[in-house]
């Protein structure tokens, strides 16, 4: 049983008060009672101050420092998406918003070597639409460097196709799976179950295609529900984001959010008419209702592209829907820092 400091203090006070009073009942003089009281008080005070040095005498469920660290980690994860952008003409840069207290969290922009260490031997799967493809581009840019990126750029950007790469030097396997709709994501998830192989990191996200071609938020909500159910059925998914896969490895799940749409910049009349602010809000609300995200009680950690792109601003958007690389770069670093925090690693 765990004795808190408060309970211990109250117990000590009772002993100091009642033991001498009890003794007084045994015909002790007032001086003797005072003497016993004082002696007991000093003994207890000494004991209490010695407790921290002999923690093994006091069995505890979890030490307060571990609990504190866990709380601190959870807090830091919630602050990860607070990123500020600044621009110098067309040159955008970003950094974490330290005014929200995140400086205690040691968020860091990881370099190539750090990322290679972190993802060494991992299997990363990213499934989604063009936003997810841009996310993959930023991740590979970080891992391979811009020289090698030029070589693979064309293959990576083949319209509506998957992309697979193995980075031999660090044994990293990266799959991009073209999944414009949530139903496609569900197929990916059930595919893992069928094959009995699970990636270490799974990043998913979709919604824009559904918004444009179905324009029915209720239906989007239904498909998110089905995705959630298939996640529960396919993965040993607990309510936590960081869970064990069959091999006992941790499995990290992320949701790549939709960007902020800037209606006036959208490049077709159909998009401008259908993809309104109200519809975006309705789609957002369906995501919330689906409880897929960890902040809503689910298991996926949100890479908040909506907030990142909004903070980057209108000038940062190319066509009201796709944004400058800097937004996807920031979301990659949000993911990497979440992985660092969740795996309790510090570089
Ligand atoms: C863009 O900004 C970054 C950081 O602010 C700086 O290092 C880089 O030299 C700038 N590039 C150009 C082309 O101005
Ligand atoms: C980041 O932006 C927010 C508002 O968008 C502002 O309040 C905050 O001071 C900024 N932080 C830094 C470090 O510039
Ligand atoms: C990756 O891990 C393997 C062993 O797990 C190690 O031999 C190798 O040096 C690591 N590579 C990098 C780039 O960290
Ligand atoms: C994605 O799902 C849609 C609608 O369910 C389907 O028509 C399409 O073939 C799927 N695409 C892929 C790449 O699986
Ligand atoms: C499952 O295995 C098949 C055959 O090896 C492969 O083509 C497919 O991509 C795998 N699916 C997943 C989701 O890993
Ligand atoms: C929207 O989707 C729901 C659920 O799939 C369906 O019942 C409803 O008929 C759809 N509404 C329209 C206008 O297509």
- Give the residue with greater pLDDT, 10 vs 31: 31
- Give the residue with greater pLDDT, 164 vs 15: 164
| Distance separating alpha carbons of residues 126 and 229, to the nearest angstrom | 19
Count Cβ atoms below 10 Å from residue 84 Cβ, excluding itself: 15
Which residues neighbour 249 within 8 Å (Cβ) at sequence distance 6 or greater? 200
- 248, pLDDT greater than 80: no
Find the 57 Cα to ligand 1 centroid distance in Å: 58
Nearest to 231, CA basis, from 180, 267, 182: 182
Per-chain mean pLDDT for the chain: 83
Nearest atom (ligand 1) to Cα of 91: 1
Give the residue, by CA position, lying nearest to ligand 1 atom 10: 91
Q: What is the pLDDT of residue 238?
A: 45
- Give the residue with greater pLDDT, 282 vs 68: 282
Among all bound ligands, the one having the nearest atom to the CA of 116 is: 3
Structure tokens at 59: 């069995």
Q: How confident is the model at residue 14 (pLDDT cuts 50, 70, 90)?
A: low
Say if CB 80 and CB 294 are below 8 A apart: no
Ligand 6 pocket: which of 218, 226, 290 to mutate (most atoms <8 Å of CB)? 218
Query: Containing H/E element for 166?
Result: strand 163-167
Residues at CB less than 6 angstroms from ligand 1: 88, 91, 93
What percent of the chain has pLDDT above 90?
Answer: 58
For residues 37-58, average pLDDT: 55
Lowest mean pLDDT among 9-23, 159-173, 328-342: 9-23
Q: How confident is the model at residue 314 (pLDDT cuts 50, 70, 90)?
A: very high
Among all bound ligands, the one having the nearest atom to the CA of 222 is: 6
Alpha helices in the chain (DSSP H): 5-24, 30-50, 64-79, 112-119, 130-144, 146-156, 182-195, 208-213, 217-234, 269-274, 277-290, 305-312, 325-342
Nearest to 201, CA basis, from 247, 249, 233: 249
For residues 245-268, average pLDDT: 84
Give the residue, by CA position, lying nearest to ligand 6 atom 13: 216
Q: How confident is the model at residue 308 (pLDDT cuts 50, 70, 90)?
A: very high
For residues 252-272, average pLDDT: 96
For residues 259-278, average pLDDT: 95
Q: pTM value?
A: 0.80
pLDDT in tens, 66-82: 666 778 888 889 899 99
Find the 170 Cα to ligand 3 centroid distance in Å: 6
């Amino acid at each position: 049983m765990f004795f808190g400091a408060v309970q211990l203090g109250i117990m000590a006070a009772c002993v100091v008060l009642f033991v001498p009073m009890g003794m007084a009942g045994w015909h002790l003089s007032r001086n003797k009672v005072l003497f016993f009281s004082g002696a007991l008080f000093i003994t207890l005070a000494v004991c209490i101050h010695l407790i921290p040095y002999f923690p093994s005498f006091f069995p505890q469920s979890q030490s307060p420092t571990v609990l504190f660290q866990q709380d601190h980690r959870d807090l830091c994860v919630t602050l990860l998406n607070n990123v500020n952008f600044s621009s110098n003409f067309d040159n955008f840069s970003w950094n974490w918003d330290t005014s929200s207290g995140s400086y205690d969290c040691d968020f860091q922009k990881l370099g190539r070597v750090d990322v290679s260490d972190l993802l060494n031997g991992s299997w990363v799967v990213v499934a989604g639409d063009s936003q997810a493809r841009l996310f993959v581009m930023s991740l590979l840019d970080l891992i391979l460097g811009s020289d090698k990126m030029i070589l693979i750029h064309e293959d990576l950007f083949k319209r509506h196709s998957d992309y697979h790469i193995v980075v031999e030097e660090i044994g990293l396997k990266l799959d991009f799976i073209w999944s414009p709709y949530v139903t496609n994501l569900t197929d990916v998830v059930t595919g893992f179950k069928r094959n009995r192989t699970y990636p270490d990191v799974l990043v998913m996200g979709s919604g824009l295609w559904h918004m444009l071609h179905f324009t029915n938020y209720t239906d989007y909500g239904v498909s998110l529900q089905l995705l959630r159910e298939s996640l529960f059925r396919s993965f040993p998914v607990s309510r936590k984001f960081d869970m064990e896969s069959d091999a006992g490895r941790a499995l990290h799940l992320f949701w790549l959010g939709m960007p902020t749409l800037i209606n006036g910049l959208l490049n077709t009349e159909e998009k401008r008419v259908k993809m309104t602010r109200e519809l975006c809000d309705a789609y957002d609300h369906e995501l919330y209702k689906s409880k897929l995200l960890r902040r809503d009680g689910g298991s996926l950690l949100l890479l908040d592209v909506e907030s990142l792109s909004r903070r980057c601003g209108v000038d940062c958007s190319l066509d009201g829907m796709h944004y400058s690389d800097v937004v996807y770069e920031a979301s990659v670093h949000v993911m990497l820092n979440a992985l660092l925090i969740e795996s309790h690693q510090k570089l």
